[in-house]
């Protein structure tokens, strides 16, 4: 328990508020005040910033506790909800504001003190992690600023460094005032976990279908005067964008943006625009992160402007090579996909991996939670120590304690020798507790002690043993609902929920299904020594139309069965019936949406290659040819050109040879 912590009580029932005050004073906390409404709480916050706020959801006045929570979040003040209502809707609304705890009235004095203890732990943990992450990002930005590289390299490095803090599908850097005859913007489109495609003037014109004169007019209408900084902040409203920003937004089908401006030492203003295809992605926390690193970002941006000309000694950076893809695949244990929801989850995993923070993986069965747990371990400093996986639902309740913590010889009938449990086996490494929502209530108490005290007790022994393990837990259950129904301990939930990561179901990332089909088909064909001859269109359409309740695990099983039963066929055919996967459904929304995504990717790649070919006047081979600039073999480039339908008339210059 942290004594001398300052607490503001926001509670409209005086009897409850006063009882809280007396309990907390006796426990060693300092009370900064009691408020019965959000408006009264505002006045208290102006006078003194508390460490915690105990916040009733239902308050006197026009604003609820949830409304006040928004302001507390903006001011980085931790809060714990108090509520007489524990229904699912209240818990969901509370969760959305990211509280440090939740107490359901009536609660015991012990519940209050334990919840505050957990909140203090989460606050310390969050602060320590944030300080380390901030130091790491600041170092990355400084290193980028000092390295010898061209502007394109620097922008890509900035994008890679900042993506775990600020999610994006497209990042644009635009400078003002604009020099005559120059295109002011540069951007990178994220096309994979660590794959980015550079978008400059030529690429944007091709994707947008604009002529040079049309683009010049848009740039002219987008110019800010030196005394007008333009818009900065979060927006989903396209009316707030300049014509050039609108062009970027519409060309790549973005739905939300965060715009941030920096002023370099040379006096140039540069607007960074982070864009996402998802709606409502950006919050005030993202803007606060950018403000925190503004000085470092200004420095690296100034160096970027000085390095506008590409150094002849350095080839323009390309991304998305086969080596890059393989490296990303190795880091994330064969996780396949490029959907923004999946990439966001992998970014979170990358962000939390270096620290000892507990991680809670949420998502339906078959979404790949164990693979992400493996990746978190592999990307951490514990990677050379054991990774021990425990399926809590597969171990009988009478055996789970001995499995986790071990037992002494003679502790029970059949205990003929001393045995280490899974926690001790994982010493220095990671314990992955899968399906933790199935853990019996008595074991939840003992697991909480392990998390708090970092020690275990063998069955049959009263001597505690210290253990150094990191816990990554996973569940397909709605733990908030389990807490509300009394099936899962509130204190254990908040102890585990320090860093939650939600993995999307396959039906929400259908644009990844084609890649998954191809991956598993090739895998099983190689395993069974069967020649891979492609996938039939009917099979692909049926699998795209299916809703996949079993997610990736079900898809993998369907492919394995089809490979076995299709041996010798020219193309892989779907053997089993998938409910609801009719041809008519295939023509409806999901397949259409996927085809649009696939077409967008093809058009973007085609536009990129055409822009390079224009720069080389159609030359593919030789020094400074398109193949060399793209870091590809000439035959590989020619193959891609043929696949994308790129012809000589698409670009000027001599014939490609």
Q: How many domains does the chain have?
A: 5
pTM above 0.85, yes or no: no
- State the CATH number of the domain containing residue 428: 3.40.50.300
| In-domain check, residue 287 | yes
Q: Please state which of the ranges 33-47, 247-261, 264-278, 588-602 shows the lowest mean pLDDT.
A: 588-602
Over the stretch 228-237, which tens digit does the pLDDT of each residue have? 444 567 776 5
Q: End of a domain among 469, 488, 504? A: 504
- State the CATH number of the domain containing residue 77: 3.40.50.2300
Sign of the alpha-carbon torsion through 555, 557, 563, 565: negative
Over the stretch 274-311, which tens digit does the pLDDT of each residue have? 999 888 788 777 887 888 888 888 888 888 877 654 43
Q: End of a domain among 83, 99, 129? A: 129
Are 486 and 535 found together in one domain?
Answer: no
Select from 503, 506, 562, 495 the least CA-distant residue to 535: 562
Are 236 and 379 found together in one domain?
Answer: no
Are 488 and 517 found together in one domain?
Answer: no
SS (H, E, C) 589-653: HHHHHHHHHHHHHHHHHHHHHHHHHHHCCCCCCCCCCHHHHHCCCHHHHHHHHHHHCCCHHHCCC
| In-domain check, residue 325 | no
What percent of the chain is modeled with pLDDT above 90? 26
**Spatial contact of 320 and 329, defined as CB atoms under 8 Å apart:** no
Q: What is the pLDDT of residue 281?
A: 82
Identify each DSSP E strand in 488-601 by its residue range.
499-502
SS3 500: strand
Are 352 and 454 found together in one domain?
Answer: yes
For residues 283 and 258, give the distance between their C-alpha atoms in angstroms, rounded to a whole number. Answer: 9
- The phi, psi pair for 591, rounded to 5°, reads -65, -40
- State the CATH number of the domain containing residue 513: 1.10.8.60
| In-domain check, residue 137 | no
Write the CB contacts of 500 (distance below 8 Å, at least 6 apart in sequence).
359, 360, 361, 362
Q: What is the CA radius of gyration of the chain?
A: 28
Residues 214-227 have a mean pLDDT of 70
- State the CATH number of the domain containing residue 601: 1.10.10
Q: What is the pLDDT of residue 652?
A: 61
Residues 21-26 have a mean pLDDT of 92
Residues 312-318 have a mean pLDDT of 36
Which tokens go with 635?
Answer: 């035959």
DSSP track, 148-211: ---HHHHHHHHHHHHTTTS--SEEEEEEESPPTT---EEEEEEEETTEEEEE-HHHHHHHHT--
Residue 331 has pLDDT above 60, yes or no: no
Cis peptide before 394 (omega within 30 of 0): no
84-92 contact pairs (CB < 8 A, 24+): 84/58, 85/57, 85/58, 86/483, 86/484, 87/484, 88/480, 88/481, 88/484, 90/57, 91/480, 91/481, 91/483, 91/484, 92/480
| In-domain check, residue 79 | yes
* Residue scoring higher pLDDT (443 or 607): 443
Are 208 and 252 found together in one domain?
Answer: yes
Are 489 and 468 found together in one domain?
Answer: yes
Distance of CA 332 to the CA centre of its chain: 13
Which tokens go with 512?
Answer: 């990844």
Are 570 and 613 found together in one domain?
Answer: no
Average pLDDT of the residues of the chain: 81
Over the stretch 392-411, which tens digit does the pLDDT of each residue have? 988 888 888 888 998 888 77
For residues 251 and 248, give the distance between their C-alpha atoms in angstroms, rounded to a whole number. Answer: 5
16 sits in which H/E element: helix 14-26
Are 499 and 511 found together in one domain?
Answer: no
| In-domain check, residue 315 | no
Residue 386 has pLDDT above 90, yes or no: yes
Are 393 and 495 found together in one domain?
Answer: yes
Q: What is the pLDDT of residue 126?
A: 67
| In-domain check, residue 327 | no
Are 421 and 464 found together in one domain?
Answer: yes
Q: What is the pLDDT of residue 586?
A: 41
- State the CATH number of the domain containing residue 202: 3.30.450.80
For residues 580 and 596, give the distance between their C-alpha atoms in angstroms, rounded to a whole number. Answer: 22
| In-domain check, residue 103 | yes
| In-domain check, residue 314 | no
Beta pairing, strands 387-391 & 359-362 = unpaired
Length of the chain, please? Answer: 657
For residues 509 and 504, give the distance between their C-alpha atoms in angstroms, rounded to a whole number. Answer: 7
Q: End of a domain among 564, 581, 598? A: 581
Residues 522-539 have a mean pLDDT of 88
Are 451 and 366 found together in one domain?
Answer: yes
Over the stretch 613-646, which tens digit does the pLDDT of each residue have? 877 888 888 877 888 777 677 877 887 788 788 8
Residue 7 has pLDDT above 70, yes or no: yes
Q: Give the structural domain span for 346.
A: 332-504
Are 573 and 628 found together in one domain?
Answer: no
């Amino acid at each position: 328990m942290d004594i001398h912590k300052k607490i503001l009580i926001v509670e409209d029932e005086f009897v409850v508020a006063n009882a809280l005050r007396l309990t907390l004073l006796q426990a060693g906390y300092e009370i900064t005040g009691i408020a019965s409404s959000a408006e009264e709480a505002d006045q208290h916050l102006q006078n003194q910033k508390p460490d915690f706020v105990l916040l009733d959801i239902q308050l006197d006045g026009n604003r609820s506790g949830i409304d006040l929570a928004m302001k507390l979040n903006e001011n980085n003040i931790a809060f714990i909800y108090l509520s007489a209502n524990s229904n699912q809707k209240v818990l969901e609304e509370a969760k959305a504001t990211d509280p440090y705890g939740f107490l359901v009235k009536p609660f015991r004095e012990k519940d209050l003190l334990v919840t505050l203890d957990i909140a203090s732990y989460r606050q310390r943990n969050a602060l320590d992690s944030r300080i380390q992450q901030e130091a790491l990002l600041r170092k990355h930005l400084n290193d980028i600023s000092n390295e010898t590289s061209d502007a394109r390299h620097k922008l890509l490095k900035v994008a890679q460094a900042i993506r775990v803090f600020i999610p994006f599908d497209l990042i644009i850097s635009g400078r003002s005032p604009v020099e005559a005859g120059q295109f002011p913007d540069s951007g990178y489109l994220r096309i994979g976990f660590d794959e980015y495609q550079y978008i400059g003037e030529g690429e944007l014109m091709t994707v947008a279908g604009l002529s040079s004169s049309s683009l010049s007019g848009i740039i002219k209408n987008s110019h800010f005067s030196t005394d007008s900084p333009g818009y900065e902040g979060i927006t989903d409203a396209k009316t707030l964008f300049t014509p050039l920003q609108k062009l970027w937004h519409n060309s790549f089908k973005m739905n939300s943006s965060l715009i941030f401006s920096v002023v370099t030492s040379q006096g140039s203003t540069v607007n960074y625009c982070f864009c996402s295809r998802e709606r409502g992605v950006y919050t005030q926390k993202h803007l606060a992160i950018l403000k925190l690193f503004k000085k470092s970002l200004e420095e690296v941006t100034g160096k970027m402007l000085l390095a506008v000309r590409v150094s002849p000694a350095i080839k323009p950076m390309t991304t998305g090579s086969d080596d890059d893809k393989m490296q990303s695949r190795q880091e994330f244990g064969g996780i396949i996909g490029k959907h923004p929801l999946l990439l966001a989850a992998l970014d979170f995993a990358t962000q939390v991996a270096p620290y000892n923070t507990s991680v809670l993986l949420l998502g339906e069965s078959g979404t790949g939670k164990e693979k992400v747990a493996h990746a978190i371990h592999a990307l951490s400093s514990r990677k050379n120590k054991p990774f021990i996986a425990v399926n809590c639902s597969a171990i009988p309740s009478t055996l789970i304690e001995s499995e986790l913590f071990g037992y002494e010889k003679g502790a029970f009938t059949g205990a003929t020798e001393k045995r280490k449990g899974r926690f001790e086996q994982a010493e220095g490494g990671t314990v992955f507790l899968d399906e933790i929502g199935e853990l019996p209530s008595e074991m939840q108490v003992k697991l909480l002690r392990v998390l708090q005290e970092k020690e275990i007790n063998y069955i049959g022994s009263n001597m505690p043993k210290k253990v150094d393990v990191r816990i990554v837990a996973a569940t397909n259950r709605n733990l908030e609902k389990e807490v509300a129904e009394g099936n899962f301990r509130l204190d254990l939930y908040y102890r585990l929920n320090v860093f939650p990561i939600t993995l999307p179901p396959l039906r929400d990332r259908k644009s990844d299904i084609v890649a998954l089909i191809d991956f598993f088909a090739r895998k099983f064909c190689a395993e069974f020594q069967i020649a891979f001859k492609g996938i039939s269109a009917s099979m692909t359409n049926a699998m795209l139309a299916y809703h996949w309740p079993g997610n990736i695990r079900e898809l993998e099983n369907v492919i394995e069965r089809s490979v076995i039963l299709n041996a010798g066929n020219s193309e892989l055919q779907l053997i089993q019936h998938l409910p609801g996967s009719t041809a008519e459904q295939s023509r409806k929304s999901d397949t259409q949406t996927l085809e649009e995504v696939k077409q967008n990717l093809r058009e973007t790649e085609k536009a990129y290659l055409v822009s390079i070919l224009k720069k080389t006047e159609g030359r593919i081979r030789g020094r400074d040819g398109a193949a060399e600039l793209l870091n590809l073999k000439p035959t590989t480039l020619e193959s891609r050109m043929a696949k994308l339908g790129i012809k000589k008339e698409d670009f000027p210059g001599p014939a490609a040879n």
